[in-house]
Amino acid sequence: MKWRLSVVIDTEVHIVHRVYLREINPTRSLTEPYSWHSHDGDLLVAEMDRAGVDQAFLISYTAQDVARFLERNGMGPEDFVSGKKYVRFYLEKYPDRLYWFTTTPDPRDERALSILKKDLELGAVGIKIFPGILGIHMNDRHLMEVFKVAQSMGRLVMIGPEETAPPETPTLETLLNELDEVLVEFPKLPVQLNHAGCFDPLGPHGDIAIRLSRKHNNLFLSTAILGYCFDDEHEYPFPKQLKRIRKLYDGVGVEPLLFATDWPWCEHVRKYVQDVDAIRRHCDFMSDEDKDKFLALNAQRYLGKLAKPRLTKAVSTAAGWAQGSEGAA
């Protein structure tokens, strides 16, 4: 009997009450659903249930955290209705389904470390850093203190390298090269690189993340929106995305790769369940065992001791069932 692990973990999701509000941004399209209706924790969990996703990593960025992004796009805090209080409400409602990653405020602010420590004490399993949005170098001494806090408290780090805008910010290539220095300095700190570094794996700089992953076994590559574009649009099962995943898979194997959707930011082009089924049903270059690692087991390894009992029990039960089936065969 062939065994399939039933657990799926999405390693990057968000919830927002509203963003880019159409009332004050009339040029935004109605096809961007988050501009006119809420994408809250209840909807997220309903989508997870429909898609067979067991758990998800929920990032709690706020308008204050992404102030530079809003300013660059001619928007302000009123265009971004979300926040940590909003996120924590749903974390408390679905404690066995969601893991909280808090975003770091500008680490050059003297209050930043105390804010982060408080969030970690309140239950955040990790810290998400947007160096491009913050306009900071990865190896900046203030940001290095953030890495130290995460390591000392046994937490995780997630890097979102998007939204670079040189010369106001370092270039994307500079940030990834500086990440190499960080990983050398913190070899035991689990680090997730969102969008596999944002360079298109099929493009001229696509091998940077591959080289980093080969060098550092504590670096995990998240696969949401590879190339940081939606060029598949509605073409299920998203062959260009699968081709990009294939490039990473061929370059580093399955072990560093993490499944992620970046929900709800793709909702205008595809549904949540389609993101999952594109892998489950159409990723023909991965074996069943590799799909299990990609969809769940690698995320569990990234979580380590922070994995919640629901996940640990589900994986253990499935593994035990598999061993029994193999024995019977």
Give the lowest-confidence range in 151-160, 298-307, 320-329.
320-329
Q: How far apart are CA 224 and CA 258, in angstroms?
A: 9
| pLDDT value for 230 | 85
- pLDDT tens digits, 123-137: 999 999 999 999 999
Highest averaged pLDDT of the listed ranges 32-41, 226-235, 306-315: 32-41
Instruction: For residue 51, give the nearest of 251, 217, 267, 271 by alpha carbon.
Output: 271
The total number of residues shown for the chain amounts to: 329
For the chain, give every domain's residue range: 9-324
Residue 283 has pLDDT above 90, yes or no: yes
**More reliable by pLDDT, 145 or 322:** 145
Q: What is the mean pLDDT of the chain?
A: 92
- pLDDT tens digits, 133-159: 999 999 999 999 999 999 999 999 999
Is the distance from CB of 147 to CB of 189 less than 8 angstroms? yes
Residue 47 has pLDDT above 80, yes or no: yes
pTM for the predicted model, two decimal places: 0.92
| pLDDT value for 310 | 66
Give the lowest-confidence range in 3-12, 33-42, 220-229, 247-256.
3-12
> What share of the chain has pLDDT > 70, as a percent?
92
| pLDDT value for 5 | 58
Q: Which two tokens stand for residue 190?
A: 């689990």
The alpha-carbon radius of gyration of the chain (Å, integer) is 19
CATH of 9-324, one of 3.30.230.10, 1.10.230.10, 3.40.50.1000, 3.20.20.140: 3.20.20.140
Task: Report the SS3 class of residue 191.
Answer: strand
| Helical segments of the chain, H only | 41-51, 67-72, 84-93, 112-121, 131-134, 141-152, 172-185, 207-215, 239-252, 272-280, 288-292, 298-303, 309-328
